[in-house]
Amino acid sequence: MSRGGGHRCKRALAAAVVIGNSTTARERFYVPECESITARAIVTTVTSDPVLRIFPQEADIGFDDADVDDAASGLTAETTLSADTEATHTYTLLGEPYVDVTIACDSGDAATITTVDVFVKRSP
């Protein structure tokens, strides 16, 4: 993603993945020298209020690192997801080399992913 452009998530946020009951699914992206990142999600079978979030990561986190080391947990607002409705969430990068795109469910929440696309704008 370091050159900008778009990506359809095919791992933790792949189509048909079910997230629920106090679970967070996340995919990490390497976005050096990029200006902003936008995630677009469509989910079905929504129970309660799952949310789409983008978290910046500390520089020592690697692409395949399973650890979570948020640069500032809760730094970005979240976008509540509704069934069969496109939701977008954007984060302006402040030099973070990695970001995590997540869909999070609190207790009693659930969602089945239709698609999650990520778009990155490269700095000029």
Confidence of residue 115 (pLDDT cuts 50, 70, 90): very high
Find the mean pLDDT for residues 6-27.
Answer: 91
Distance in angstroms (rounded) separating the CA atoms of residues 89 and 63: 21
Find the mean pLDDT for residues 62-77.
Answer: 61
The single residue listed with the structure tokens 């095919």 is 10
Q: Cα separations (Å) of 113 from 36, 60, 75, 91?
A: 23, 30, 24, 21
Q: What is the pTM of this model?
A: 0.87
Find the mean pLDDT for residues 34-51.
Answer: 93
Residue 114, CB-side half-sphere exposure with 13 Å CA sphere: 14
Q: What is the pLDDT of residue 66?
A: 62
Residue 72 has pLDDT above 70, yes or no: no
Buried b (16+ CB within 10 A) or exposed e, 15-29: eebebbeebbbbbbb
Residue 43 has pLDDT above 70, yes or no: yes
Domain holding 86, by residue range, is 5-122
To the nearest whole number, what is the mean pLDDT of the chain?
Answer: 86
Name the token pair of 39. Answer: 């995630």
- CATH number, domain with residue 108: 2.60.120.680
The total of structural domains in the chain comes to 1
Q: What share of the chain is helix, strand, coil (3-state, %, to 5)?
A: 0, 55, 45
Residue 44 has pLDDT above 70, yes or no: yes
Q: What is the pLDDT of residue 36?
A: 92
Confidence of residue 4 (pLDDT cuts 50, 70, 90): confident
